[in-house]
Structure 1
Amino acid sequence: MSIDAVPSTAADSRSEFHEEWQQWHRRHEEARADPHGFLAVTGLHWLTPAPQQFPDVPGEWHTGDDGPVVILGEDEQLVVDGRQIRGRHEFGPIAERAGLTVGIDGGVLEVARRGGHDILRPRRPDHPLRAGYRGTPTYPPHPRWVLSGRFVPFDSPRSTTVGAAVEGLTHVYDAPGQIEFAVDGVPLRLTAFNGGTPGSLSVLFTDATSGVTTYPANRALTVGAPDEQGRVTLDFNRAANLPCAYTDFATCPLPPAENRLPVAVEAGEKIPYERLADDPAGRS
């Protein structure tokens, strides 16, 4: 199989390459299994102008132009910024893709905004999905999936609307450009979004393995900042699952239509064991 890979000396070395990948994967798994990470989410609740109560969240909640509001019962409380809150509390407007975490009995509560909606997501360390987590299967890392590419910026960022893991929800991102690369001599390109650190890029994609050996909806790849010539490196060994691969309480974005690759990217994370086993803890 011939792949257009980043030139490197053979000794540079396979052991160093594997060690770096192991460190990345270890950090990724530790973050995923954090006591208050996505594996600990026990529910997804959508706030409306009408007051609502939820079985796993204290208080009565509603939202509107002024943001989420909770009214706590006499024996209920939240911990917000280290302070115990009782009675009525107004959180104020929350920006899209932002949120805050408050303390609740036995865990924490995420109060956030996704796709134009205010949501609540309680997280408890003893949730069966987290308690039973045994790691994520992956393809064996291989240098052949470390590919060279070129970032081609748009004249100006393009507003790009994509679907979400939750039916009926959409996300809007500004795409700064596309990444051009090749596999087996086949030219390909991926629309990129801004990454989590300045200058970095984030790519959502599917490929011919999606729904076969990898999660069908999406995988994500972080790409370092382009150099002065626009050159980037795509290390598909680090293609990672998003939270929706594990829990139906996630609102993950789907890839843009043009990011459906016609090749099999046999690298990175595979379908989680929880989805393969149809574990109720992961699919509730």
Structure 2
Amino acid sequence: MTDHDDHVAGRARWATSPRGPLALVNAQHVDHVQPVWPVPGTWAPAAGGLTVTAAAEDGVVVDGVPVDGEVLVAGDQAVVPSTVAFPDGFAGTVSGGMLRVWDPASEAITRFAAIARFDRSDAWVTSGRYKPVDGLEARGSVLDAAGDPLEVAGHIETAFGSTAVRLVAVRSAPFQGSARLQLIVQDATSALPEDNPGSTYSMGRFLYLDDLGAAAEVVLDWNLLVLPPCAFSYQFACPIPPEENRIPVAITAGERHPVDTTGHVFH
């Protein structure tokens, strides 16, 4: 199996995993005492996460201990985030005042067939030049899906034929212990599928590459363009590609849309 085959198989496993985007059935901000569908308990904001109030018969388990009363559920910024289990296989995670509810047997997982993609082509492996920015410039003008600024790491200059572009690269979370950069891009294929049979997800796609930490020549394998989580579930918000990353070229490479067992695009 080639590295690209591994990449394709890994993406399908991620999409349908118990914490993959198809398993997320609710993402609810908790800013006052309230229930959260479809799980038991009453939830409330708290320093460091959320609290849940439940009776023993509700079957809520936090950090391996059944809840009978009020318990703090530590968020993902804690040294040790809490694990939450509910009846019927549901699970919960807390992030930024939000309770995410995951169903590893969700309806979306059962009808998922594949991530539609363009055929791989060496023609879409190109070169570019990465130039990091200094500290003040790096404070960020790119927003994530929650509206929070992302750290701009630098710019990548590359070209598609005669079309030269200067793309904004943001700093991504480490992957397998290595620092990496993220390009949030739209291109001429970014359109609703009913408007364009050769389309990709209208809100854009992501390309990741190693963060070398200094100016360097880089390889851009556009075959590795991936869909954001919001392409799989309305429970995710989408980051908006910065103006510089709206590429006026059709990049017919990488992932296009998630499709179900009838061949229809998820949304």
Normalising TM by the smaller chain, what interval? Answer: 0.7 to 0.9
Aligned partner of 2:259 in structure 1 is 273
In the alignment, is residue 55 of structure 1 matched against residue 69 of structure 2?
A: no
In the alignment, is residue 263 of structure 1 matched against residue 263 of structure 2?
A: no
In the alignment, is residue 203 of structure 1 matched against residue 189 of structure 2?
A: no
Amino acid at match of 1:108: A
In the alignment, is residue 242 of structure 1 matched against residue 228 of structure 2?
A: yes
Aligned partner of 2:18 in structure 1 is 35
For the residues of structure 1 that align with 2:134 and 2:15, how far apart are their CA atoms? 37
For the residues of structure 2 that align with 1:93 and 1:109, how far apart are their CA atoms? 11
Paired positions, count: 253
For the residues of structure 2 that align with 1:47 and 1:29, how far apart are their CA atoms? 31
For the residues of structure 2 that align with 1:43 and 1:206, how far apart are their CA atoms? 27
In the alignment, is residue 192 of structure 1 matched against residue 174 of structure 2?
A: no
Instruction: State whether residues 74 and 94 of structure 2, in contact with CA within 8 Å, keep that contact through their aligned partners in structure 1.
Output: no
Aligned partner of 1:3 in structure 2 is none
Aligned partner of 1:4 in structure 2 is none
The 1:160–1:38 alpha-carbon spacing in structure 2 relative to 1, beyond 3 Å, is same
In the alignment, is residue 155 of structure 1 matched against residue 134 of structure 2?
A: yes
> Gapped runs of 5+ residues in structure 1?
1-15
Could you state the TM-score of these two structures normalised by the residue count of structure 1? 0.81
The Cα shift of 1:231 comes to 1.3
Amino acid at match of 2:106: H
For the residues of structure 1 that align with 2:232 and 2:13, how far apart are their CA atoms? 15
Structure 2 residue corresponding to 1:142, chosen from 111, 116, 121: 121
For the residues of structure 2 that align with 1:276 and 1:190, how far apart are their CA atoms? 33
Map Cα deviations across residues 19-54 of structure 1 (whole Å, 9 max, x no partner). Answer: 221111111111211133211111121101x21112
Q: How does 1:8-157 map to 2 (within 5 A)?
A: 19-48=2-31, 50-65=32-47, 67-92=49-74, 95=77, 100-105=82-87, 106-113=89-96, 118-156=97-135, 157=138
For the residues of structure 2 that align with 1:228 and 1:47, how far apart are their CA atoms? 41
**What secondary structure does 2:257 align onto?**
coil
Aligned partner of 1:183 in structure 2 is 160
Instruction: State whether residues 75 and 82 of structure 2, in contact with CA within 8 Å, keep that contact through their aligned partners in structure 1.
Output: no
For the residues of structure 2 that align with 1:43 and 1:227, how far apart are their CA atoms? 37
The Cα shift of 1:120 comes to 1.4
Instruction: State whether residues 244 and 252 of structure 1, in contact with CA within 8 Å, keep that contact through their aligned partners in structure 2.
Output: yes
**What secondary structure does 1:42 align onto?**
strand
> Gapped runs of 5+ residues in structure 2?
none
**What secondary structure does 1:209 align onto?**
coil
For the residues of structure 2 that align with 1:252 and 1:171, how far apart are their CA atoms? 12
Aligned partner of 1:220 in structure 2 is 206
For the residues of structure 2 that align with 1:111 and 1:89, how far apart are their CA atoms? 13
Instruction: State whether residues 41 and 123 of structure 1, in contact with CA within 8 Å, keep that contact through their aligned partners in structure 2.
Output: yes
Structure 2 residue corresponding to 1:174, chosen from 151, 160, 165: 151
Instruction: State whether residues 225 and 232 of structure 1, in contact with CA within 8 Å, keep that contact through their aligned partners in structure 2.
Output: no
The Cα shift of 1:228 comes to 6.0
